[in-house]
Structure 1
Amino acid sequence: MQIVADQNIPALSSLLTDAGSLSLYAERQPPAHLLAEAEVLLVRSVTRVDEALLAQAPRLKFVATATIGTEHLDLAALAERGIAVASAPGANADSVGEYVLTAVLAHYQRRQQLATLADKEVAIIGAGNTGRAAGRRLAALGLTVHYYDPPLLQKGAVPPGLEVHDHWQRVLNSDIISCHVPLVTAGPHPTHHLLDIEALQSLHSGHLLINASRGAVIDNQALLTCCEQGDCPGLILDVWEGEPAIAVALLEHVSIATPHIAGHSAEGKVGGALKVAEALYAFLQRPFTADADSVLPACPWPTFDATQIASLEDLAALALHRYDIWRDDALMRRDGGTAAGFDQLRKQYRKDNPRRQFNNQRIACHNSQQFEQFLQLGFNAVRAQS
């Protein structure tokens, strides 16, 4: 098989050793000479697989995206041509959950308000893999977490133990609002500009609004207007409408700004690669046995004792030590204001020092309460030796 893949999907040369001939591309769209021969195309969200691309790829049989969402794929056009499609749901959910956890801790720590967290109510928009990963971690901090997901309610598919509702005003009344939905532009439950000028005007500086899903879920121009008018909510934005050409004026109003990298831990990126490789081997009707451990390097972090992390300040210090989100924020403010700079930040994201997930951090726990809390926060909770 002639396989064409985005060079920023990691470990493919190791995962696809006997699947075919692998060619990598570096820009947003694959070059025409590769598409002309491609039988398999492996992409990320930056590549638009539409009629224009398909017209250049007459031999294409299989397309997979190493992302959760598929809005960058023209599914109707692919189906019309009989091209098989796969995605990677849940592959980077823990990475996004850790991003939200770290960002919340960093935001309130900088404002010396960590002590107020236990009184906060969190609305998670979207009860899918990433929404639940974020909600589980924030609940472990002691926050009250609920999920807004009308489509899930309509399907009657609410996972046990989750408080899922369809009350929009309850979302807007919550202290923290975190977006975890795909970009949907049509149908009964569109998410494009879900947070529009009316919704944004109901928020104020006591709110914290987080978007780690798709930029256009929030109307960025309306958000900028609200911020310039005065009482702007706290903002944590990892995704931006119009990427890679963002509304640069928003940067000065954002508490934490990053270039669409919430899911880009080493584990999250390799997880996406594993999903597309597994789907390709299933398409080829061949066995696939690789796992993350076979391609990820060891992470030699020392074990911490739970007694060393006795407060939210201690937890914030540990989270920021393992994931310095302020470094990502500083680089975004320095280089992310141009389309080329934004794309470069994503392409080169922590290539010198990959971001590793908290499950590599062992926490020795002395009782079941500690064990359960650190487990829900995403750490590798273990029983302390007596």
Structure 2
Amino acid sequence: MKIIVDENMPYAYELFSRTGKVLSVPGRELSKIELKDTIGLMVRSITNVNAKLLDNTSIKFVGTATSGTEHIDYHVLKKKGISFSSAPGCNSIAVVEYIFSVLFFLAERDGFDLRNRIVGIIGAGNIGNCLNKRLKVLGVETLICDPPRKNRGDKEIFYSLDELVAKADILTFHTPLFIDGLYKSWHLVDINLLNSLKKNTILINTCRGSVVDNKALLQILTMRKDISVILDVWEEEPNISLELLNKIDIATPHIAGYTLEGKTRGTIQIFESWCNFIDKPQQIILENLLPKPEFSTITLHGNIDQYKLKRLIHLIYDVRRDDTLLRKLTAIDHIDFDLLRAQYQERREWSSLQVICDNTETVTILNKLGFNATLQ
């Protein structure tokens, strides 16, 4: 039984080899020739799974080790009778910790207390909900915009996007990409919205590049210097705009969800679905696959405050590392976007670090935030 897996899926070869012959391939360059005699196809977001790829193949199962599925043509899969599995929520923690790294960097650079800022969260799915909960632990006021959830009657207070633009100091986007329809999100951030932003607004996009009109954003940034912009996702990936990159505050190559834990969760989720599909169920425990982290234990004394939390967060992951790597390549007018992702330095989640504390309140706060904190 032949199975193809994206070469950037950690532990995919080891796991799927238990059930058949595995071939690891670059996801963006996948060809029909490689699909010959293949039963299972395991991809990430850079592989468009459509009729062009699947016609005249023997594929019976497609899995994507991602929470987003915009690269998958469901209609084609259904028409061909191909089973499908995704990995919803696998990278939620990773993306949220990326955003915290960004916010604490900006808070220190610009000299503000995060509790004095209102955060508008557009899209309250797995990632948006996780972010909302962690911000509330710190006492940060949040506003939620999620029209699909509001329309189905979910019992939360929802605001319109216009209300968020008018009230929030920070806007962070976590929506699927819908090209049209009632919940269209393509170019949701357009020239009109950008013109309406409050002074000193922070704009963060970690969902899909086309949610933000990159050309309109570039136009606005040539006129307004007060807006802080963080982009992890871009239009036209991997051929991103160097001009735009050089005008924003933090630029990274679509790696917000790239913790080792997050990527491995994605692999495990579709592997277990694949095993159910072939009627050989297996259950994989995440911790049994992962290596020991570079830093495993630290002692923290006294109450936790913004300064201490910022240092703790950046000990595990400082977003400026990835921003610097991306910008270095602009010096030679060339960005190998996919290479940066393929050779991404191992990054761990907060839970990988045991924090030993001598303050009960600090332990409570850190554990609610997702750290592994214990009382000394």
The verdict on a shared fold, with TM-score over 0.5 as the criterion, is: yes
TM superposition shift of 1:36: 1.8
Distance 1:308 1:360 in 2: 21
- CA deviation string 1:23-45 (max 9, x = no partner): 11125031332212211100000
Partner of 1:177, secondary structure, is: strand
> Closer, same or farther in 2 for the Cα pair 1:259/1:336, shift >3 Å?
farther
Aligned to 2:73: 74
Alignment of 1:144-159 (within 5 A): 144-158=141-155
Corresponding position of 1:370:
362
Does 2:139 match 1:129? no
How far does the alpha carbon of each residue in 1:95-117 deviate from its partner, in whole angstroms, 9 at most, with x for none? 01100011110122122x14x32
Q: Which residue of 1 aligns with 2:162?
A: 169
Shift of 1:333: 1.1
Large movers: runs of 4+ above 6 Å: 336-339
User: Match for 1:120 among 117, 121, 131?
Assistant: 117
**Secondary structure at 1:85's aligned position in 2?**
strand
* More deviation, 229-238/2-11: 229-238
CA deviation digits over 1:286-345, x for unaligned, max 9?
221222122110226353344356321121112112112111000111226978511111
Cα drift, residue 15 of structure 1: 1.6
In 1, Cα distance between equivalents of 2:39 and 2:335: 30
Structure 1 counterpart of 2:365, one-letter code? Q
- Structure 1 SS opposite 2:256: coil
- In 2, are the aligned partners of 1:244 and 1:339 still within 8 Å (CA)? no
Instruction: Spell out, residue by residue over 1:148-204, the C-alpha distance to the aligned partner (whole angstroms, 9 max, x if none).
Output: 10101222345xxxx441422221020011111111112211111111111111114
Letter in 2 for 1:262: A
Q: 1:140-219, aligned counterparts within 5 Å?
A: 140-158=137-155, 163-173=156-166, 174-219=168-213
Paired positions, count = 374
Structure-1 residue corresponding to 2:339? 344
Q: Give the Cα separation in 2 of the matches to 1:92 and 1:259.
A: 15
Residues 263-298 of structure 1 deviation map (CA, whole Å, 9 limit, x = unaligned): 001101101101110110111122212221221102
Higher mean C-alpha deviation, range 41-50 or range 230-239 = 230-239
In structure 2, C-alpha distance between the alignment counterparts of 1:308 and 1:343, rounded to whole Å: 43
> How far did residue 356 of structure 1 move?
0.7
Find the partner of 2:285 among 288, 291, 294: 291
Change (3 A) 1:27 1:189: closer
Q: Secondary structure at the match of 2:124?
A: coil
Contact in 2 for aligned 1:94/1:268 (Cα 8 Å): yes
Structure 2: runs of 5 or more not aligned: none
Instruction: Give me the whole-angstrom Cα distance separating, in 2, the residues matched to 1:309 and 1:110.
Output: 23
Q: What is the CA distance between 1:242 and its match in structure 2? A: 1.2
Structure-1 separation of matches of 2:133 and 2:68: 21
> Matches of 1:342 and 1:309 in 2, distance apart?
41
The residue type paired with residue 346 of structure 1 is: R
Structure 1: where are the runs of 5+ without partners? Answer: none
Q: Is the 8 A contact 2:120 2:145 kept in 1?
A: yes
The amino acid that maps onto 1:273 is: T
CA distance, structure 2, for counterparts of residue 10 and residue 336 of structure 1: 28
Match for 1:144: what amino acid? Answer: E
- Change in CA separation of 1:298 and 1:238 when aligned onto 2, cut-off 3 Å: same
